Structure 1
Amino acid sequence: MENYIEDLNIINICAFTLGLMYGLVAQYTQFCFSGAIKDYIQIKSTRRASSILVAIITAVILSQSISIFFQIDFYKTIYFKDEINYLAIVIGGIVFGIGMMLADGCSSRQLIKLSQGNIYSLVTILFIAIFAYITSKGLFSYLINLLNHNELLLKLSSYLPNMQLSILLVLPVLLFLLWKMVPNIKSLLLCFDGLIIGVLISLAWFVTGVINVNEFEISTLEGLSFVYPSGKALEYLMFFSGTTLSFGVSVILGLLAGGTIMALFNKKYRVSCAPNDKENKLKNSIIGGSMMGIGGILTLGCTVGQGLTGVSTLALASFIAISSIALSAYFTAIYLHKRNALPSCYLFEWNQK
């Protein structure tokens, strides 16, 4: 109990609150990267994809504004680490994308589904956490380090510096894509979840980059992500008295709490869909979770960790990472769809209430 009280500092309370808000919003609207891909493949709907774009645009604008106003240096984050290995990032993105579609949801989506009572999501999350830890600190870490620190790959990657892209270049492209996806201006109101989540992504930088600043200690600048923190959350639950609560773990606990609370009221999403004859939910949950754990470490984040948080820093590597995840997930979804094995619990159209 004494250890628990010491962990309840302002940073972890803020992190829990951010996770809580994310969980409330994501459960209410079923905000989901993999769901956006499935919507487009099966019914050509861009509704959830538009919410994701709104989240990215909001996160980019607010994060860059916070960075300028409070002098936060994004080059201190993992997204601008000194030696970047693009091949490792792309491989990680491909592995993560395949796993995401097999398991029917990325790491953040699985946490929401667990809060709704989906037992298969518990299996997926456990395997994400276990394999994220095995890959970062355990049995696979030696092989991963050989890949990440391969001299030839690092030299090849050095020809394309991991620069911070100009917001004047990125923002017009994102706005153009949003304009092509949204039927009309009024439809943007349905993307309010993206706006809120984009704000939460930005606030995470404020919490770790402004509130967490201590002149006597080296503070860690981090944003919202769910793969490695899942491994740390498992470690925290298993070795409670021998470890401390961190920002990432607090976010995950808050997300679970928020999703659970909203699921009590938003009951229509509480029942998981029945698998069809060509699905093996348990096997796919195990394989997909394992792949996301490995891929998330290699690519330095998940769809939220790279697709929202990383992209908000405008790091070139983050755009490469989320592109590899998205393309891999898209082609995996097409393959599964042709085999009638693509899970389709919920599909969202623009005219849907």
Structure 2
Amino acid sequence: MSMAQWVETYGQGTVLAAGGVLIGLSFGFWAQRSRFCLRAAVIEFWHRRFGEKLSVWLLAFASAVIGVQLMVLMGWLDTGSARQISAKGSISGALIGGMLFGVGMVMTRGCASRLLVLSANGNLRALLSGLIFAVTAQAALGGALSPLRTHISSWWTVEGGAPRDLLAIAGVDHWAGLAMGGLWLAAALFFALRSPQRSVWMWLGGMGTGLSVAAAWGFSQWVAAESFDPVQIQGLTFSGPSAEWLMRVMHWPAPPIGFDFGLMPGVFVGSLIGALVGRDWKLEGFSDGYSMRRYIGGAILMGFGSMLAGGCAVGAGVTGGAIFALTAWLSLVGMWVGAGLTDRWLDGGAADKPTSLPAEGFKRP
């Protein structure tokens, strides 16, 4: 049965949701097995310890860029129609939102996708943080925090189209984008080969995570090409879907189903499978009142920052970065800067010595 027949028989919403489940399963499994985490990579980078965590993130990012650019060159994907490029964007929102997200990411010891992955592994700290993240994201999208988000976003805007496309701004084509992905892959391999902790899961998981991001772009484009109704192509992100699932639980009638409807449960189940395969499933809670306050504050900053920046560490950082959206790259820079400064100020060398609050999912060397 062709994609057009699937859409005609079951409807585009159902087909998109089914694709979201399958791609979410892939992302959740590979992210769990590789310990994919932007926060961990940022801390390694700022502490000049270029090892496994940075290598995993670079492998994922490079794989996403290469996968997306190859699809564009083969005529399978039109990145110009993606919201991150075609719509009007906010440079002030990207920079400030990215920094706020980076601060919150360090406080909660994981980005939005990492919180979902850890929740499926039995981590109750991540579960609570993820719920607060979703509430704050919804408040920033259409609730009490929406006016503040809109105000900050209006400070410095950029028109959609070429002004928001880094490749167009640089005057290069998608072959240059593919070459950039190759450079990132070379850097990932360089650091991975130097890491004493490298493993098969690091290689497979990092690349599998990135290719899952590319697959989301390709799948939504495939459905859009075969559907009679307009379909907005999209990639993986966790801020919008988290807010959408919150509204499904608290409001009726629920929003129409689509890719995001299947993504969240898919990632959760995929991560659970990964935890069972690796025997990583374990119930964990808070150790004291300080850690709870830290996680709650971080989740609030991440929720607001993600909506201000136009995406989370995956949505803006990898998904938007793979199509070379200007605001996505600015958000990613903001996340790296915000997280690095917060790590130094809040944890003060935590990557160099043991603390009472170890990084989630990693053992200190």
Please confirm whether the aligned pair reaches a TM-score higher than 0.5, indicating the same fold.
yes
Residue from 285, 304, 317 that aligns with 1:307: 317
| 1-structure distance, mates of 2:221, 2:236 | 13
Query: Gapped runs of 5+ residues in structure 1?
Result: none
Tell me the residue number matched to 2:164. Answer: 162
2:108/2:295 contact within 8 Å kept: yes
Partner Cα distance (2:101, 2:329) in 1: 15
Partner of 2:327: 317
Compared CA separation, residues 22 and 172, structure 1 to 2 (3 A): closer
User: 1:131 maps to what in 2?
Assistant: 136
2:303 aligned partner: 293
Could you tell me whether the CA contact under 8 Å between 2:136 and 2:300 is conserved in 1?
yes
Asked if the contact 2:137–2:240 (Cα under 8 Å) also holds between the matched residues in 1, the reply is yes
Match of 1:344 in 2: 359
Q: Does 1:220 align with 2:223?
A: no
**Contact 2:52/2:195 (<8 A) preserved:** no
Distance 2:303 2:259 in 1: 19
Give the secondary-structure state (helix, strand or coil) at the position aligned to 2:193: coil
The match for 1:29 is 34
Runs of 4+ in 1 over 6 A off after TM superposition: 5-8
Deviation at 1:135, TM superposition (A): 0.6
Asked whether the equivalents of residues 272 and 345 of structure 1 are also in contact (C-alpha less than 8 Å), the reply is no
Change beyond 3 A, Cα 1:309–1:345 = closer
Residue number in structure 2 paired with 1:270 = 282
Aligned 8 A contact 1:311 1:318 in 2: yes
What secondary structure, in the 3-state scheme, does the structure 2 residue paired with 1:268 have? Answer: coil
- Using the alignment, how far apart are the partners of 1:241 and 1:322 within structure 2? 35
In the TM superposition, what is the alpha-carbon distance from 1:32 to its structure 2 partner? 1.2
Partner SS for 1:280? helix
Q: Say how many residue pairs are matched.
A: 340
**Cα displacement string for residues 118-175 of structure 1 (whole angstroms, at most 9, x for unaligned residues):** 112121111111111111111121222222234xx237x99x9322324166336424
Could you tell me which residue of structure 1 aligns to residue 265 of structure 2? Answer: 253
Deviation, structure 1 residue 326:
1.2
How far off is 1:49 after superposition?
0.9
Which sits farther off after the overlay, 170-179 or 248-257? 170-179
**Residue in structure 1 matched with residue 3 of structure 2 by the alignment:** none
- Aligned counterpart for 2:184 among listed residues 171, 174, 186: 174
CA deviations over 1:182-232 (Å, ceiling 9, x no partner): 335995853221111111111101111112434531101110000111000
CA distance in 1, matches of 2:310, 2:323: 14
- The alignment status of 1:111 with 2:121, answered yes or no, reads no
> What SS does the corresponding residue of 1:70 show, helix, strand or coil?
coil
Q: Using the TM superposition, name which of 36-45 and 77-86 deviates more.
A: 36-45
Moved more, 329-338 or 68-77: 68-77
Given the alignment, which residue of 92, 98, 106 partners 2:97? Answer: 92
Equivalent residue number for residue 210 of structure 1: 222
Is this contact kept in 2: 1:80–1:162, CA < 8 A?
A: yes
CA shift in 2, pair 1:214/1:325, >3 Å: same
1:208 partner amino acid? S
Contact 2:106/2:298 (CA < 8 Å) preserved in 1? yes
Given the superposition, is the C-alpha separation of residues 30 and 140 from structure 1 closer, same or farther in structure 2, using an over 3 Å criterion? same
User: CA 1:241–1:317 in structure 2 vs 1: closer, same or farther (change >3 Å)?
Assistant: closer
Q: Post-superposition shift, 1:343?
A: 3.6
- Determine the C-alpha separation between the residues in 2 that align with 1:70 and 1:235: 36
C-alpha distance 110-185 of structure 1, shift in aligned 2 (>3 A): closer
Give % identity. Answer: 24
Q: Cα 1:217–1:201, aligned 2, differ >3 Å: closer, same or farther?
A: same
RMSD of equivalent CA atoms: 3.0
Q: Residues 261 and 174 from structure 1, CA distance in 2 versus in 1: closer, same or farther, beyond 3 angstroms?
A: closer
TM-score, length basis structure 2 = 0.83
Q: Unmatched 5+ residue regions in structure 2?
A: 1-9, 168-175
Name the SS of the counterpart of 2:74 in structure 1.
Answer: helix
Conservation of the 8 A alpha-carbon contact between 2:124 and 2:285:
no
Which is further off, 36-45 or 7-16? 36-45
- Alpha carbons 1:7, 1:244 under 8 Å: kept: no
